[in-house]
């Protein structure tokens, strides 16, 4: 189909320009955009907090800010990045936009719930930010009791209420995806024809729906103990502080999979598209997502090896934690095998996906160190843990999120960004990330505990390296912000399928019309139905992208 110029065709972006048409929209694509703007704001906010405490950590002494401010900074960074960026980022932005498009539906099953989800998210975010501004929050994102429930003098309850509301935003998104995927697939779209992005979101949605109520409950209990003196966690009131940790991690460990499963889904789509072939081991990738979601609920105790949990419970949790590594490894091997006999194009989304594979592999392997109880005794609550989960959440989830934004940007906006700047940003982020977080593995091994405002001077060299890396990483994140915004006005029109990718979302216009498809698509082939040796079309209007693509396009016919 040849798209008419974006200006004279009606699509979801130009359907109406009023503020109300955005704030009260029930179009999943517009809600995706609302989420995109919101999580970008929260990402910048959480990033700014990180910049501030990385500056503080340049010197061993606490000198730039006070200890209270420092504790507020890392709490804001953690709360905002976990609850207001990482958990919603891929599902609520890309998932919202793409789940209906990919399965050939007009919208999600419950468009109004979807809008409610965004409003809850924003109200929760406003309340939590209000708590941060008025009284501060200094508990860390983990809200450990009895510090949070009795001793902290900051606006803990208010912040928790904000997080609580946001949890419901997440539940509604998960519920919507599950029902949509079950009931609204286009004719012919069988379960095993679904893109693996959908499988990953399905698995993550199960966690959102089953896990989030638990953290919501436990957070309410903290508020009750704080405000009414109900003895739940504080032993002086007859409570048990470990109860909090069990309930908190029962959600918060699976929450890692809410972040990483959709990321894996994004990477799977990108690797298939830019290898120009069907994904290797489709069913293994699909079922490994479900295996991760299921096993993920049984490993929370590995956060508690030195907490006072019984030694025997620790041994079982350790065993299960080793098991959960296997489905993740299976995915990495299958992605790698997909490159074999493909037509690999190293365009921006693929560079991000490659970065994801490298960083996620390091994050996953260092996770095995922490699953090993004996090693965790020393590493627990040190910078080793900080480095490990940043490799998973930033190196993994954020790289995939950015890769996904770049991959679907032409679909979302109808525009192409500058290809070379895209690749540069991916490389700068990859390098800056490693310089920031690799030294933290060494810091942790040397024994530097996390959440330290001041530290002994033998840790300074590695901390300076980490702060230097953070400045590069920060710049790396700003580059896409500039050229993506620039592309909205000056970028060339993308056309419906600039990458030559397969999938229903590429068969409609860019940007798609409000109801997604002119006629309901009928699916007659498997996902990733790339013909062997088929070459993708040249990207229109991009400068200097892979000359090899054009000159060798015809040379690979079987």
In angstroms, what is the minimal distance from the CB of 47 to another protein? Answer: 22
Near another protein by CB under 8 A: residue from 2, 18, 236, 543: 236
Measured from the CB atom, the residue of 224 and 237 that comes closer to another protein is 237
Q: Which whole-number Å values give the CA distances from 285 to 130, 291, 329, 330, 470, in the listed order?
A: 42, 10, 10, 7, 33
Least distance (Å) between residue 329 CB and another protein:
5
CB atoms within 10 A of CB 390: 20
For the segment 410-469, give every residue that binds another protein (CB under 8 A).
442, 445-447, 449-458, 461
Nearer to another protein, 210 or 330 (CB): 330
Q: Does 7 bind another protein (CB under 8 A)?
A: no
Q: Does 298 bind another protein (CB under 8 A)?
A: no
Span interacting with another protein, options 178-186, 355-363, 399-407, 426-434, rule CB under 8 A: 355-363
**Does 297 contact another protein by CB under 8 A?**
no
**Residue partners of 352: CB distance under 8 A and separation at least 6:** 270, 399, 400, 402, 403, 406, 426
CB of 311 to another protein, least distance (A): 5
Out of 96, 173, 180, 343, the residue judged to bind another protein by CB under 8 A? 343
Report the residue number, 96 or 154, with the smaller CB distance to another protein. 154
CA-CA distance, 8 to 493, in Å (whole number)? 13
Measured from the Cβ of residue 482, the count of other Cβ atoms closer than 10 Å reads 12
Enumerate residues 462-521 that contact another protein by CB under 8 A. Answer: none
Pick the piece of the chain touching another protein (CB under 8 A) from 198-206, 309-317, 408-416, 480-488.
Answer: 309-317
CB of 103 to another protein, least distance (A): 22
Q: Which is nearer to another protein, 74 or 409 (CB)?
A: 74
**Distance of CA 306 to CAs 245, 310, 379, 493, 552, Å?**
12, 9, 10, 56, 59
| Surface-to-core class of residue 236, CB atoms within 10 Å of its CB (0-12 exposed, 13-18 middle, 19+ buried) | exposed
Cα 40-43-49 angle, rounded to 5 deg:
145
Stretch that binds another protein, among 30-38, 116-124, 361-369, 393-401 (CB under 8 A): 361-369
The answer to whether 537 contacts another protein (rule: CB under 8 A) is no
Question: According to CB under 8 A, which one of 121, 249, 305, 408 is a site residue for another protein?
Answer: 305
Q: What is the DSSP letter of 513?
A: P
Q: Given CA atoms 479, 482, 484, 487 in this order, what sign does their dihedral have?
A: negative
Binding characters for another protein, 363-392, by CB under 8 A (x = yes): --xx-xx-xxxxx-xx-xxx----------
Stretch that binds another protein, among 260-268, 308-316, 473-481, 509-517 (CB under 8 A): 308-316
In the region spanning residues 24 to 43, those forming contacts with another protein, defined by CB under 8 A, are none
Round to whole Å and give the CA distance between 422 and 433: 16
Site for another protein in 255-274 (CB under 8 A): none
DSSP one-letter code for 12: T
Binding to another protein in span 138-197, by CB under 8 A? 138-140, 144, 146-147, 150-152
Nearer to another protein, 16 or 556 (CB): 556
Helix boundaries (H) for 372-459: 373-379, 383-390, 399-413, 419-446
H-assigned helices in 135-195: 156-183
Contact 540, 498 (CB under 8 A): yes
Q: Report d(CA 160, CA 143) in Å as an integer.
A: 9
Is 174 or 342 the residue whose CB approaches another protein more closely? Answer: 342
32, 195, 296, 314: residue in contact with another protein (rule CB under 8 A): 314
C-alpha–C-alpha distance, residues 342 and 461, integer Å: 44
Crossing angle of helices 67-79 and 111-134, in 10° steps, is 180
Which part of the chain contacts another protein (CB under 8 A), choosing from 28-36, 43-51, 164-172, 541-549? Answer: 541-549
Q: How far is the CB of 15 from another protein (least distance, A)?
A: 37
Tell the smallest beta-carbon distance from residue 490 to another protein (Å): 27
Taking alpha carbons only, the member of 494, 502, 535 closest to residue 521 is 502
| Least Å from the CB of residue 236 to another protein | 7
Nearer to another protein, 108 or 443 (CB): 443
Interface with another protein in residues 57-76 (CB under 8 A): 62, 67-68, 71
Cβ atoms 128, 163 nearer than 8 A? yes
Number of residues that bind another protein (CB under 8 A): 105
Q: Are 373 and 305 in contact (CB under 8 A)?
A: yes
Q: Which of 76, 194, 357, 392 binds another protein (CB under 8 A)?
A: 357
β-sheet bridge partners, residue 371: none
Using alpha carbons, select from 411, 397, 396 the residue that is nearest to residue 33: 411
Cβ distance to another protein smaller for residue 57 or 92: 57
Q: Binder to another protein among 135, 533, 538, 541 (CB under 8 A)?
A: 533
Contact 37, 55 (CB under 8 A): no
Nearer to another protein, 190 or 556 (CB): 556
**What are the phi and psi torsion angles at 493 (to 5°)?**
-65, 140
Give the Cα separation of 23 and 540 in Å (integer).
34
Residues 315 to 334 in contact with another protein, rule: CB under 8 A: 315, 318-319, 322-323, 325-326, 329-330, 332-334
**Rg (alpha carbons) of the chain, rounded to whole number:** 23
Least Å from the CB of residue 23 to another protein: 39
End-to-end CA distance of the chain: 27
Q: Which is nearer to another protein, 210 or 329 (CB)?
A: 329
Instruction: CB nearer to another protein: give 304 or 428.
Output: 304
Nearer to another protein, 172 or 370 (CB): 370
């Amino acid at each position: 189909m040849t798209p008419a110029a974006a200006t004279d065709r009606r699509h979801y972006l130009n359907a109406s320009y009023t503020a109300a048409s955005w704030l009260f929209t029930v179009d999943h694509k517009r809600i995706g955009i609302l989420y995109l703007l919101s999580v970008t704001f929260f990402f910048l906010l959480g990033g700014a907090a990180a910049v501030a405490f990385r500056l503080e950590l340049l010197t061993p002494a606490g000198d730039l800010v006070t200890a209270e401010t420092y504790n507020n900074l890392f709490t804001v960074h953690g709360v905002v990045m976990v609850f207001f960026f990482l958990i919603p980022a891929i599902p609520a932005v890309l998932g919202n936009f793409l789940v209906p498009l990919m399965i050939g539906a007009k919208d999600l099953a419950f468009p109004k719930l979807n809008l409610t989800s965004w409003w809850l998210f924003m109200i929760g975010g406003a309340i939590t930010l209000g708590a941060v501004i008025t009284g501060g929050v200094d508990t860390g994102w983990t809200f450990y009791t009895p510090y949070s429930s009795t001793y902290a003098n900051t606006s803990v309850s208010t912040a928790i209420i904000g997080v609580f509301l946001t949890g419901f935003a997440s539940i509604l998104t998960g519920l919507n995806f599950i029902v949509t995927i079950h009931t609204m697939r286009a004719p012919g779209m069988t379960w095993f024809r679904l893109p693996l992005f959908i499988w990953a979101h399905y698995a993550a949605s199960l966690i959102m729906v089953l896990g989030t109520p638990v953290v919501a409950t436990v957070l309410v209990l903290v508020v009750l103990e704080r405000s009414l003196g109900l003895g739940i966690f504080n032993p002086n009131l007859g409570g048990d502080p470990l109860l909090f940790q069990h309930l908190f991690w029962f959600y918060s460990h699976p929450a890692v999979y809410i972040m990483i499963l959709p990321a894996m889904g994004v990477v799977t789509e990108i690797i298939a598209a830019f290898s120009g072939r069907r994904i290797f081991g489709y069913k293994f990738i699909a079922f490994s997502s479900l295996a991760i979601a299921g096993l993920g609920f049984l490993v929370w105790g590995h956060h508690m090896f030195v907490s006072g949990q019984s030694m025997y419970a620790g041994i079982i949790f350790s065993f299960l934690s080793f098991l959960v590594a296997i489905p993740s490894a299976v995915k990495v091997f299958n992605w790698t095998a997909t490159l074999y006999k493909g037509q690999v194009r190293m365009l921006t989304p693929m560079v991000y996906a490659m970065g994801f594979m490298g960083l996620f592999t390091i994050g996953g392997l260092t996770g095995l160190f922490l699953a090993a109880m004996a090693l965790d005794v020393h590493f627990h609550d040190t910078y080793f843990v900080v480095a490990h989960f940043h490799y998973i959440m930033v190196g993994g989830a954020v790289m995939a999120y950015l890769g996904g934004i770049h991959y679907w940007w032409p679909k979302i906006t109808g525009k192409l960004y500058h290809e070379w700047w895209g690749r540069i940003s991916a490389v700068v982020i990859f390098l800056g990330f490693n310089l920031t977080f690799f030294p933290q593995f060494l810091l942790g091994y040397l024994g530097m505990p996390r959440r330290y405002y001041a530290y002994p001077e033998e840790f300074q060299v590695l901390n300076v390296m980490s702060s230097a890396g953070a400045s590069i990483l920060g710049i790396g994140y700003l580059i896409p912000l500039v050229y993506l915004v620039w592309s909205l006005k000056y970028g060339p029109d993308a056309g419906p399928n600039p990458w030559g990718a397969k999938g229903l979302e590429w068969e409609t216009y860019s940007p798609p019309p409000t109801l997604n498809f002119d006629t309901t698509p009928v699916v007659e082939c498997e996902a990733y139905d790339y013909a062997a040796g088929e070459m993708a079309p040249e990207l229109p209007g991009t400068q200097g992208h892979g000359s090899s693509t054009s000159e060798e396009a015809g040379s690979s016919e079987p």
